[in-house]
Structures are given as structure tokens and as C-alpha cells.
Amino acid sequence: MPPRAGARSQRASEPSQSQPARTQKGAQRGGRSQRQPVEEEEEEDDEDDDDAPTGSMNVDGDEEVTRRAHDLVRIALFMEHRRLPLRRDDITKKVLAPHTRLFTRVFAAAQGILRDTFALELVELPSRAGLDQENANEPTQGAAEDHLTQARKATGMKKKSAATGSKSYILRSTLHPTLIDLAAQTDENILEEEAADFPSDDESDDNGDDDEGERPPRSFGSIISWSHTEQVGPIGILYVVLALILANGRVLPDNELRAYLRQLHLPANRSPVHFSTASTTRSLTIDNYLFQLQKQHYLERRAVGETGKGAGNKRVRATQATRDDENSNQMYEWRWGIRAMAEVGERKIAEFVGEFMVDGDPAARNRDAREKKAEAMVAGIEKAAGSKLTEIA
């Protein structure tokens, strides 16, 4: 392709009044032959302006940023529906290419659309190495924390920075927890309307013993209808597994996890994990469900003695992983995944366990007694975990 300056010089070198005029036929021929290259060069100039490192954006550039921001919102919602993280490399290739320098502007515009329209925001997942370092440096007792603070003041050492990001993103709600709690309460009017819209909800428990039976979503008469938008049953199993790992010192051997699951009537040789009719999958075995949770970064399984770096990067099928476990004597252990740290948080799981245990205790009748016992339960889980419970990362 000839240099761009040559094309501009051809367009600028039009005959002046002092120069002899061309014939009408020659002028028409020349105009037809030069008009298309000039228009192509102008379009290329506009594209280069979008990728310019300096200078202000024109109207076309702002429209381009908005269009790519909507593309980012679309792919983020798609990945969130599959509960898979959105990597920055995918954003660069599928949304920004070839204008990779627009990442900051496109990302900020997409955040505004997500917050204003969907009450969601993109949150970067922490890295596993950063979380492991944070847990290793976390003091186990209040006295140890005071001693560490005094040592930092004496030596002038600053508190370590936050965990390094993984350059992967998930969507997280921006609604206040109080608003979510109020929207999840049962309203009689909504319950009556949902009963009329979904008359088959009462028969949802008829197939409880059938592994392949359908599980229609139940209605609870709340503004936020979790059962019609989320898989409440599988999420409940996930939270129980997270609670077991947390109460076991943040690490749970595989054989102990299997024993707990059998006590909860979740054997490995059946399909006890049922999904509602909103999902394309009716049921999964517990092995396949645990494998799915690993893929979604809610859980992490490591070989005993294996470090966090590079753990779990090899992609295998669930059936292959189960077969390899049966044919080897390798011991495995379960930990929280990075998505669970960013989406749920250890303290929320401890509060979930405390509320569940208190609600089933007839001794805690009044509100003060229930709150006091729930706080004691959270403190006991924190002690069992070995260090201070973390909030959402």
C-alpha cells in the first residue's frame, strides 16, 4: 500500500486557476478513479484516531467506546450465566481488538451500564497466591495481632498490600444486603399471584425419590424470586461444603468430605444433586457437581502437599478425574476457591451456619438469646478456622 502522505498530496494537488484546465472527460475520469481511495483513507484515519494514545476523542470515538461497552456487558452477562470468570485476555480479543488501548474507557463505561441497569458490577477475582499469603500472615489471636502491630510501628514496616489480582472478573450485586433481605421476604399478595401463574409448584416434592424426576421451581411470594432464577438446591449444597471446609481449618481431606456427604444422604453412586426445570441439566452425581464447582472456581482440590501455584490448571473431564482417583493412591484435600472468596466470604458462611443452628434450637426463643447464640457460633467457627474470618474479597 502506498504511503498515506502520498494519498493526501494527491488530494491536495488540485489545479489552481492559473493552471490549464483539464478536459471535461479527463476530469470526470480522474474524479472517478480518485474518489474511492480518498474515502478509504478517511475511514482509516478515523480508526487510527480511536487508537490514538493522546488527544481528545471525537463524537465517533465516543460512540465506538459506547458500542464496545455494550459488547462487554453482553459477554459479561453470558459468562455469569455459566458461572465462569471473564478473563481480561478474552475482553481484549473479543471486545477491544484491535483498539486495545481503549480498555480503561470501555471498562468504565460498561461498569456504568451494569450498575445503572442491572445493579451489578465487574469485580476482579483475587489470585490464589495472594490469598494463601494473606491467610499465612493473618494472626490467630488478638494478642498476636497487637504484637504484630507494635512490631510494624517499631520497624517502620508498612502493612502488606492487598492480594494480587488474577485478571479475571465476575459479576457481583451492588444492592445493599438490607434491601436484598427485605426483597426476599414473603408477601401474601405476591404468593397468591405466583400460585396462579405456577399451579404445578405444589407437586414439586412428589418426585423426591426419583433421580431423573423434574424439580419445578417453588414460589415463596418474594420480590426477588430466587427459586425461579437460581438453582437453590445446588447452591445450598455448595454452602454446606464451604461451611464444612471452613470449620475444619480451611482444609478438608477428600475422604472426610465424602463421609460428611454420605451422612447428608449425598452418596457418590447416585444423582442426588437436582436442578430445577429452569436448567438444561436435571441432575448430577455428587462427583460431577464437585467437578463443576472446581471449574467455576468455587472449590479447589489439591493433592496433599501440592502448592497453590499451578494447582488445578490441567483440564480433565469429570469422569476421567474420578477414574484417575480410583486408580491411584494419591490423597486429596479441598479448599475454598477464589470465586467463593469474592462472592460469598467466610464471615457470611459462618453467619449462615449460626442462623441455621439457632433457628432449629428451641432453647433460643427470644431475639436477644438467638443473636447471642448466633454470635457465639460464629466465634466458634472462627476459632476452628484458625484465624480471623475474611469478608468478601
pLDDT tens-place string over residues 136-189: 666 544 444 455 455 545 544 444 454 478 899 999 999 998 998 898 888 888
Element (H, E) at 129: helix 128-137
pLDDT tens-place string over residues 61-108: 789 999 999 999 999 999 999 999 999 999 999 999 988 899 999 999
Domain 230-385 grouped into CATH 1.10.10.1210: yes
Element (H, E) at 39: helix 24-50
Q: How far apart are the first and last CA of the chain?
A: 51
So what's the pLDDT on residue 128? 82
The whole-angstrom separation of Cα 117 and Cα 114 is 5
CATH number of 62-138+162-186: 1.10.10.1200
Residue count of the chain, please give it: 393
Cβ(349)–Cβ(243) below 8 Å: yes
So what's the pLDDT on residue 206? 46
pLDDT band at 385 (very low <50, low <70, confident <90, very high): very high
Cβ(177)–Cβ(345) below 8 Å: no
The whole-angstrom separation of Cα 371 and Cα 358 is 8
Interstrand relation of 332-336 and 252-253 (parallel, antiparallel or unpaired): antiparallel
The whole-angstrom separation of Cα 288 and Cα 188 is 38
Do the two domains 62-138+162-186 and 230-385 of this chain adopt the same fold? yes
Work out the average pLDDT over 181-198: 84
Which phi and psi angles does 18 have, rounded to 5°? -80, -15
pLDDT band at 131 (very low <50, low <70, confident <90, very high): confident
3-state secondary structure of 334: strand
- 300: β partners: 335
Number of H-type helices and E-type strands within the chain: 17, 8
DSSP state of 27: H
Nearest alpha-carbon partner for 287 in 300, 312, 299, 270: 270
Other Cβ atoms less than 10 A from the Cβ of 41: the count is: 14
Cβ(240)–Cβ(266) below 8 Å: no
Cα torsion for 226, 90, 303, 275, to the nearest 10°?
A: 20
Which phi and psi angles does 344 have, rounded to 5°? -110, -60
Cβ(170)–Cβ(343) below 8 Å: yes
| Boundaries of every domain in the chain | 62-138+162-186, 230-385
**Averaged pLDDT of the chain:** 76
Residue 199 grid coordinates: 399451579
3-state secondary structure of 128: helix
The whole-angstrom separation of Cα 304 and Cα 334 is 10
Other Cβ atoms less than 10 A from the Cβ of 242: the count is: 25
